[in-house]
A = this chain, B = another copy of it.
């Protein structure tokens, strides 16, 4: 269809070197909507449509976009793939591997690096996605520098449009993320330092000696190492160490008539206010 919705904001696109997602002849407005949602998940906001069959601002499309309506509102419509990519330096075509092509074939991860590198020298990339059932035609693919194919289970490769957009966009986003691959959520809690841990170990081992758990002198050093190992691995917070002091104390002395009085000093409870504090 021709463009009943000229984009409301044209500015800034020139300076935005994030990839442009070009949906070539998409069939269902709903799929354009879910693709918009996937784009915004990945920080991509520039959508282009080549001869879409349905209105991409229909109620269905906007509902499917699930909060990414802004992407649909700014989408630009073109009559041909050539027109849609003309102002771009780099063009990638997402498609299954084709026997008749002579073209570089890239994973989305490699393509993300290529697109980031291009952006680094001021070149934006257009990424082509074909119609839902049939994929891109050869003439569309011929416009591209390279083909992007997602490595997936060869026995069940078919992705819907939004999922294909999501995976390519996801890799683009990851390539720009400086989030560490793993970190510890602590809820603001201070982590226990080694002194605090060692104080707990001495408390625990003292009670384990007292109750007889460590009575085998030959095995004691190895047992102590193992017990220290498991608590060290747990990456304890200061509060957790205090809780463990309490657990040890109550397990050993709770409800016992011979429980040492606090005033006697050197009682288990005193460990909790020990060197680590």
Contact = CB atoms under 8 A, between A and B. Distances in A.
Interface stretch (A1-9, A175-183, A199-207): A175-183
Interface string A179-211: 101111111110000000000000000000000
Nearest to A183: B105
Contacts of A184: 102-105
Interface of A: 37-38, 40-43, 66-68, 97-107, 109-110, 146-147, 150-153, 155-160, 162-163, 166-167, 170, 173-174, 177, 179, 181-189, 237, 240
Given A153-B41, A166-B163, A182 B104 contact: yes
Contacts of A110: 181-182
12 contacts: A38-B163, A41-B152, A43-B153, A66-B160, A98-B185, A99-B187, A102-B237, A103-B184, A104-B185, A152-B170, A167-B167, A167-B170
Contacts of A151: 173-174, 177, 179
A95 B240 CA distance: 23
Contacts of A103: 184-185
A156 B44 CA distance: 11
A165 to B, nearest CB: 10
Contacts of A106: 181-182
Given A99-B188, A151-B177, 7 more contacts: A40-B155, A68-B156, A103-B185, A104-B182, A105-B184, A146-B182, A167-B167
A185 B153 contact: no
Given A167-B166, A181-B110, A159 B104 contact: no
A35 to B, nearest CB: 12
B237 A156 contact: no
Nearest to A159: B41
Nearest to A176: B151
A189 B41 contact: no
